[in-house]
Structure 1
Amino acid sequence: MELKNQLRKYENRIIALAALCILGIFAGCRFDYFYDLNDDVLMKDILAGVYTGTPEGHNIQMLWMISAFISLFYRLAGRLPWYGIFLCACHYGCFYLILKRSLAFCKTWWGKLAVAFTEGLLFGGVFLEHLIFAQYTVTCTFLGGTAAFLFFTTDIRLSGREFVRKNIPAVLLVSVAYLIRSEMLLLVLPMICVAGTAKWGSEDKIFTKEHAFKYFTVIGLILGGILMGQVSHMIAYGSKEWRDFTEFFDNRTELYDFQKPPEYEEHKEFYESIGLSESEKVLLDNYNFGMDEEIDHVMVGEIADYAGKTKSAKEPFGPKLILKLKDYTYRFSHGAGAVGSDYPWNYVVILGYMAAFFTAIPKKSRGEQEKKNGSAYIKNAFGAAWKLIFLFGVRTALWMYILMGDRAPERITHSLYLMEFCILAAMIFVQWSEVESAKAKRLGGILAAGCFGLLALMTFPDSVESVSLRQREREKVNALYRELYTCLSEGENKENFYFIDVYSSVSDAGIPYSEKMFRDVDNSLDNYDIMGGWACKSPLQRKKLALFEIENMEMALKDREDVYFVRKASEDMEWIFEYYEGHGTPVEAQLVEQVAGVFEIYALHGK
């Protein structure tokens, strides 16, 4: 009997853990885990010491506190894939926390199994691609979405102190999310604020001292966590070298992610005014700007500002807004098979809005008169409507912001859907738990679980097949690059250093090289680097090059016998000759080696 009571006490944890294990075993046996982009691989390389020879706490993309934390594990046990472990722990941990809290709303064994089955299918189907191909932007949002879910589903009847105590995990999740990807957390923060407002608006009496204490304390703790992370980051990156690079990084991001370097001939006067020749401007076009030391944070900032003004002049705000509104409506409303649709993410969210509205209507009424005349249903409907309209209005504003910026990759759009659905799911559970009629509650639970379960079942096979196809494509691309990198780091070649053309670092199909998280782990120092990218011109790159006694990329390629240039045979090479010619130091190239029938290694010599 005692054992039975103990099992019942911890049954939510046991069920959630069992579902987690089933999902983990399925994913681990069916797929390999990958870092989604070569950006993620570089982040791992910096943390693990592959890039500079020692694990680094300055990861550039993440804030310093979390980078230093992960790099510490690499210092203690450098052979283990700690960054991959961290990302997977975040994903599976969030799934566990959401499912465990969801199960607390179910009183029957069969209800708990239905919830576990439905959420497991949704997570394993809709989220599967991001579980297998991990990307820290999505990880950030999942942490934030889990925090919003936990906050909204906290028992509203708790005292102020107990309410705050129960939300400490949510505060920590938001703080860690900000450390992982501050820009993404700030983007979805308005949705988290909607969840807070809707929760506070659900109180019987809104403006009381206790309620002010509850919600303002949680808000204050979240802001305090964010502030602590930001201040520690600013201190860690406070040197002049890091401040200059941070400005360069921000300007480079603005130029490439939101603008585009204007054509040289059309804007020749501008380029001449900042001292950039046509052969040097090509380095901005092909991302090999690491060649030229004069392309610094000031110059890139001037180009980004000029590009922004040029783009605004060519794209009037009004017509563009109308065009993007049509795009927004199309993406949100169209289903499977429609090119450009966000299916199945959009259907999950649409179903979430419907369920969040209808589960609110039969909620308990606190007044006997309202029960008798039926006005409670109308009141409940209005109470749900303003929250959902508020959430939809905020999501629309966020979507228009990213669409108007012409920057809407899946890792951002799917993140917005993920955050939105976490909030909707929290509303559904809370409202469903407050339904007074046992019959209505049972019927509503069956309908909600059935609809979401059916959608999950419909999308799961396609999701598995899509991820399988994507993995096969990655394996094919990665095989070529593994052959190249193995060639560069073995035998006599390991004493040399290789600069790789940036466009040659991705496949012709645009698929980036991306390592597996837990297989073929090698955290030893690499003797190669690409000639551009977001770590280029950073103190980390200068540290890496210093290990090979390289002070200047341009000079090393021309003068050093142990420094080589690597490109894909399909990529143009004339730009490098024109660049050296423009600097008065013409060079010639000697083919040294071919790799995998795709890559060519050249030695450059002055004429």
Structure 2
Amino acid sequence: MELKNQVKKYENWIIAFAAMGILAVFAGCRFDYFYDLNDDVLMKDILAGVYTGTPEGHNIQMLWLISAFISLFYRLAGGIPWYGIFLCVCHYGCFFLILKRSLNFCSTLYGKFAVALTEGFFFGGVFLEHLIFAQYTVTCTLLGGTAAFLFFTTDKNLPGREFVRKNIPAVLLVSVAYLIRSEMLLLVLPMICVAGTCKWGSEDRIFTKEHAFQYLTVIGLILGGILIGQISHSIAYGSGEWRDFTEFFNNRTELYDFQKPPEYKEHQKFYESIGLSESEKVLLDNYNFGMDEEIDHVMVGEIAEYAGKNKSAEEPFEQKLVMKLKDYVYRLSHGAGAAGSDYPWNYMVILGYMVVFFTALPMRNNLTPLSQTGRLQRGAGIYMKNAVGAAWKLIFLFAVRTALWMYILMRDRAPERITHSLYLMELCILAAMVLVQWSEIGEIKIKRMGGILAAGCFGLSVLAVFHGSVKAVSLRQAEREKVNGLYRELYTYLSEEENAGNFYFIDVYSSVSDGGIPYSEKMFQDVDNSLDNYDIMGGWACKSPLQRKKLALFGIENMEAALKDREDVYFIRKKSEDMQWIFDYYEDHGTPVGARLVKQVAGVFEIYALSGQRT
């Protein structure tokens, strides 16, 4: 009997751990874990010491505090894939926290199994691609969405201090999310605020000292966590060298992610005014701007500003707004097979709005016998009150999500890692609303029926897309395996003993993808955290103190001079990529060069030695 009571006491923990374990075993046995993009690989390389030879706390993309924390583990045990472990812990940890809290709303074992299966199939189906191909932007939003879910589902009847204590995990999750990807957390922060406002607005008496203490304290702790992360980051990047690079990084991001370098001939006067020749401008087009030391934070900032003004003049705001609004409606409403649709995420969100509305109607024991006219009228009145209460929350959430979507669409920057993140945050909030409202249905029969219908709708929906998601991820993995095999062959050649003392600069377009399929690495296989003897000629770490440190290890001060003058420095390109630009660049600088093919690798890559005299 005592054992049975102990099992009952920890029943939710057991079910949540079991579901998490099954999901992890399924994903781990069926697939390999990958870093989603070469950006994620470079972040790992910086943290692990692959890039500079020493684990670095300045990861550039993440805030310093979390980067320093992860790099510390690499310093202690450099052969372990800590960054991959960190991302997986975040993903599976969030799944556990959401499921564990969801189980608290179920009183029967059957109900708990139904919830566990539904949420397990969601993470193993709809979220599967981001579980297998990990990307830190999505990780950030998952942490933020989990925080919103935990906050909204906190028992509002708890006394003030207990309410705050119960939400400490949510505060920590938001703080860590900000450290991982501050821009993404700030983008979805309005949705988190919507969740807080809707919860506070659900109180019977909104404006009380107790409620003010509860909600404002949690908000204050979240802002305090964000502030600590930002201050520590500002101090760590406070040197003049890092400040200049940070400005360069921000200007480069604005230019490439939200603008586009204008064509040279059409804007020749502008380029000449800032001292950029046509051959140098090509370096901006093909991302190989590391070649030219004069392309600095000031010049890139001027180009980004000029490009923004031209873009605004060419595309009037009103015209663009109408076009993007149509795009927004299309993406939200179209289903499987429609080009540009966000299926199945969009349909899951639409279903979430419907279930939230209908589970709100019978709250607080509103159903009464039809034969009792007076009670029936009173019940109808409460139905209307509940409908209005649900409607304002859903309209508020939908208005905010629309504003965020229009913001990213208007900026022409809507990759899946951002759009799926917005859907994920919205789904976390909608799921929390459903659970809270369902728990407040007083009539047992109606509550049971509502639970069956809600779980059935979501369960059948995720089951419908599960097979397709598994198939799509399997295909994507096979494609990556093929592409990664080519790059592994190249990097194996570069690391061979006779080549280890050389240094290789890789054309940026030749380093990132093959046929549109990005190169990445597996998280937990073929882990080698030793120093690499190569670097790409552009990218977001280019011109950073980290790159200067890396190049200094090989005695390189200037990329342009090293390629031309050093016998142990080589240029790598894919056979499919043009290299006339490099001849034009040196010619324009008065130092023409020749190129001698040294080696072909994997039938795809060519390694050249440049000489100071063109042949």
Report the TM-score, using the length of structure 1 for normalisation.
0.99
Contact 1:365/1:376 (<8 A) preserved: no
- Amino acid of the structure 1 residue aligned with 2:104: A
Q: Is 1:416 matched up with 2:411?
A: no
Query: Which residue of structure 1 aligns with residue 29 of structure 2?
Result: 29
> How do 1:240-389 residues align onto structure 2 when only pairs under 5 Å count?
240-364=240-364, 373-374=378-379, 375-389=381-395
Query: Which residue of structure 2 aligns with residue 393 of structure 1?
Result: 399
Instruction: Say how many residue pairs are matched.
Output: 607
Structure 2: distance between partners of 1:506 and 1:468: 21
Query: Which residue of structure 1 aligns with residue 541 of structure 2?
Result: 535
SS at match of 1:126: coil
Once the two structures are TM-superposed, the CA of residue 279 in structure 1 deviates from its matched residue by 0.4
Query: Which residue of structure 1 aligns with residue 141 of structure 2?
Result: 141
Contact 2:365/2:443 (<8 A) preserved: no
Once the two structures are TM-superposed, the CA of residue 506 in structure 1 deviates from its matched residue by 2.5
Deviations 1:536-565 (A, max 9, x none): 000000000000010000000000000000
38-47 vs 503-512, which moves further: 503-512
Once the two structures are TM-superposed, the CA of residue 509 in structure 1 deviates from its matched residue by 1.3
- Amino acid of the structure 1 residue aligned with 2:445: K
- Amino acid of the structure 2 residue aligned with 1:179: L
Contact 1:32/1:132 (<8 A) preserved: yes
Deviations 1:137-162 (A, max 9, x none): 00000000000000000001011101
Contact 2:483/2:514 (<8 A) preserved: no
Once the two structures are TM-superposed, the CA of residue 337 in structure 1 deviates from its matched residue by 1.0
Structure 2: distance between partners of 1:279 and 1:311: 23
Query: Which residue of structure 2 aligns with residue 578 of structure 1?
Result: 584
Deviations 1:243-288 (A, max 9, x none): 0000000000000000000000000000000000000000000000
- Amino acid of the structure 2 residue aligned with 1:406: D
SS at match of 1:589: strand
Query: Which residue of structure 2 aligns with residue 40 of structure 1?
Result: 40
Report the TM-score, using the length of structure 2 for normalisation.
0.98
> How do 1:97-136 residues align onto structure 2 when only pairs under 5 Å count?
97-136=97-136
- Amino acid of the structure 2 residue aligned with 1:350: I
Q: Is 1:452 matched up with 2:458?
A: yes
Contact 1:360/1:432 (<8 A) preserved: yes
486-495 vs 428-437, which moves further: 486-495
Structure 1: distance between partners of 2:376 and 2:603: 78
Q: Is 1:558 matched up with 2:564?
A: yes
SS at match of 2:517: coil
Q: CA RMSD in A?
A: 1.1
Structure 2: distance between partners of 1:98 and 1:88: 15
356-365 vs 301-310, which moves further: 356-365
Inter-CA distance 366–201: structure 2 relative to 1 (3 Å threshold): farther
Query: Which residue of structure 2 aligns with residue 493 of structure 1?
Result: 499
371-380 vs 329-338, which moves further: 371-380
Q: Is 1:436 matched up with 2:436?
A: no
Structure 1: distance between partners of 2:60 and 2:512: 22
Q: Is 1:504 matched up with 2:500?
A: no
- Amino acid of the structure 2 residue aligned with 1:604: L
Structure 2: distance between partners of 1:186 and 1:570: 40
Structure 1: distance between partners of 2:50 and 2:514: 26
Q: Is 1:72 matched up with 2:77?
A: no
SS at match of 1:551: coil
Contact 1:53/1:544 (<8 A) preserved: yes
Inter-CA distance 365–563: structure 2 relative to 1 (3 Å threshold): same
Report % sequence identity. 83
Once the two structures are TM-superposed, the CA of residue 372 in structure 1 deviates from its matched residue by 5.3
Contact 1:151/1:170 (<8 A) preserved: yes
SS at match of 1:495: coil
Structure 2: distance between partners of 1:169 and 1:330: 37
Query: Which residue of structure 2 aligns with residue 181 of structure 1?
Result: 181
Once the two structures are TM-superposed, the CA of residue 508 in structure 1 deviates from its matched residue by 3.5
Structure 2: distance between partners of 1:367 and 1:139: 42
SS at match of 2:323: helix
Structure 1: distance between partners of 2:161 and 2:367: 28
Once the two structures are TM-superposed, the CA of residue 507 in structure 1 deviates from its matched residue by 2.9
- Amino acid of the structure 1 residue aligned with 2:601: V
Query: Which residue of structure 2 aligns with residue 4 of structure 1?
Result: 4
Deviations 1:458-502 (A, max 9, x none): 100000000000000000000000000000111211110000000
SS at match of 2:399: helix
Once the two structures are TM-superposed, the CA of residue 512 in structure 1 deviates from its matched residue by 1.7
Q: Is 1:404 matched up with 2:410?
A: yes
- Flag as ranges the 4+ runs of structure 1 deviating above 2 A: 365-372
Once the two structures are TM-superposed, the CA of residue 365 in structure 1 deviates from its matched residue by 5.8
Deviations 1:336-371 (A, max 9, x none): 111111000001111100011100110006999887
Structure 2: distance between partners of 1:527 and 1:424: 49
Contact 1:143/1:177 (<8 A) preserved: yes
SS at match of 2:269: helix
Note the residue ranges of structure 2 that are not aligned, 5 or more in a row: 369-373
Once the two structures are TM-superposed, the CA of residue 225 in structure 1 deviates from its matched residue by 0.1
Deviations 1:384-441 (A, max 9, x none): 0000000000000000000000000000000000000000000000000000111110
Inter-CA distance 210–365: structure 2 relative to 1 (3 Å threshold): farther
251-260 vs 364-373, which moves further: 364-373
Query: Which residue of structure 1 aligns with residue 371 of structure 2?
Result: none
Query: Which residue of structure 1 aligns with residue 209 of structure 2?
Result: 209
Note the residue ranges of structure 1 that are not aligned, 5 or more in a row: none
